[in-house]
Structure 1
Amino acid sequence: MSDSPEQSVFDGDELRFDDFQLEDFDTDAPMAAPIQSERDLSFFKNIPVTVTLEVASKEVALGDLMSAGEGSIIELDKLNGEPLDVKVNGSLMGHAEVVVVNEKYGLRLIDVVDSALTSMGK
């Protein structure tokens, strides 16, 4: 590796703090409160996300899953009639029940988990 005139190497000795204008810097002055302003979040409203309705789940050993075949039953962790988990990009948003709208499945939100997603729109 050769030292060519085009390459510059930072030398800590070349750093001169006299170049900075620090006269007006008062360390005893209280910090000003951050300005609270309404932000336009409409940009975020157009970002697509994936909404998933999770019926239930169960952790099983891979060997048990490999031995499962047609007609096998795997018992899941939710009881019949319990609200189902609604997830947005894998994060829990709330709970819902299944409905049918125009012959397609839909969901009716029962509750929404207080999270960054719900507080963002407020």
Structure 2
Amino acid sequence: MTDLALAAANAAAAVLPSVEPLIAAGAQPGNENVTASFSGAAIAEVDGGLSGRIAVLVGDELTEALASSPIEGLDLAAAVQPALDAIAATLGGSAKAARTVELDLVVSDLGDDFTVVPLIGAGIAASVLIQDHLLADGGSPAAEPAPAVPPTSLVEPVETFGQVSTSSTGTETSSAPAPASNVTPLPVRGLEMLHGVDMEVTVELGRTRMTVRDLLALTPGAVLELDRAAGSPADLLVNGRLIARGEVVVVDEDFGLRVTEIVDDSAVG
């Protein structure tokens, strides 16, 4: 069970938005205090031969980046859906659409028996939660769990500013810290950590309204009149929100959209 939990958590770590690489560290039994260090949570149902729930807990960096995102349709559930998909696939199932939940409801949603795997970067950046019966019943044959990393070696990283050693003559020498000009800059934080998140992009030619009677009377060959005049630009929607308009074009026998206008927030009604 532990190896499978680590494999699932490492699969999530590879796709979870983060400012630094994450690694799974030390699976452990879940308890009522598991959400204490986090600011957001998303849960998904697992199916595809399995039945259960999985969750991802995230810290302030991701929730603050989402709050500052100009794309309102991008919420926590959408941002961590790829991570939940990766967990479910490793367990041998598939994840349904994620939902954002309040932190104080996570434990009750998962029940008493679940496993927690912290995801470590500079500190504990996130955690993966998996109901125990999914670990007992699931498992993709292709999954190769990464070796566990002791949490105590990563949760409290120690910065060494100088190192004292003893030479062959018995004299103590001290190595000074590297000059500031040689220090590797910290990764850019904020909205850029969301750059790898997948979003649903839709091109809409137009809409119409129909009664149930007319809808049931549709047959092949029927023509629907849309609320858009011929030659009018099509709408580009991201997660259901209008962000641009453009002209429909054909690219290598596939339809495409040539963007002609970026829609300002104040222009969206």
Kindly indicate which of the two structures has a greater share of residues assigned to strand.
2
Q: How does 1:81-96 map to 2 (within 5 A)?
A: 81-96=231-246
How many Å separate the matches in 1 of 2:262 and 2:245?
7
Task: Give the partner amino acid of 2:220.
Answer: E
Which residue is equivalent to 2:192?
Answer: 42
Which residue is equivalent to 2:247?
Answer: 97
Query: Runs of 5+ in structure 2 lacking a partner?
Result: 1-187
SS in 1 for 2:216: helix
Q: Deviations over 1:20-50 (max 9, x none)?
A: xxxxxxxxxxxxxxxxxx8542211111101
Find the partner of 2:229 among 71, 79, 93: 79
How many Å separate the matches in 1 of 2:253 and 2:223?
27
How many Å separate the matches in 1 of 2:232 and 2:225?
15
- Displacement of 1:73: 1.7
Find the partner of 1:59 among 193, 209, 227: 209
How many Å separate the matches in 1 of 2:214 and 2:252?
39
Larger Rg: 1
Q: TM-score scaled by structure 2?
A: 0.28
Which residue is equivalent to 2:179?
Answer: none
Kindly indicate which of the two structures has a greater share of residues assigned to helix.
2
Task: Give the partner amino acid of 2:222.
Answer: S
Structure ranking higher on relative contact order (CA contacts 8 Å, 6+ apart): 2
- Displacement of 1:100: 1.8
Aligned pairs, number: 79
- Runs of 4 or more off by more than 6 Å in structure 1? none
How many Å separate the matches in 2 of 1:73 and 1:58?
12
How many Å separate the matches in 2 of 1:67 and 1:101?
35
Paired-residue identity, %: 37
SS in 2 for 1:43: helix
Find the partner of 1:109 among 259, 264, 267: 259
Q: TM-score scaled by structure 1?
A: 0.58
- Displacement of 1:70: 1.6
How many Å separate the matches in 1 of 2:222 and 2:250?
28
How many Å separate the matches in 2 of 1:72 and 1:92?
28
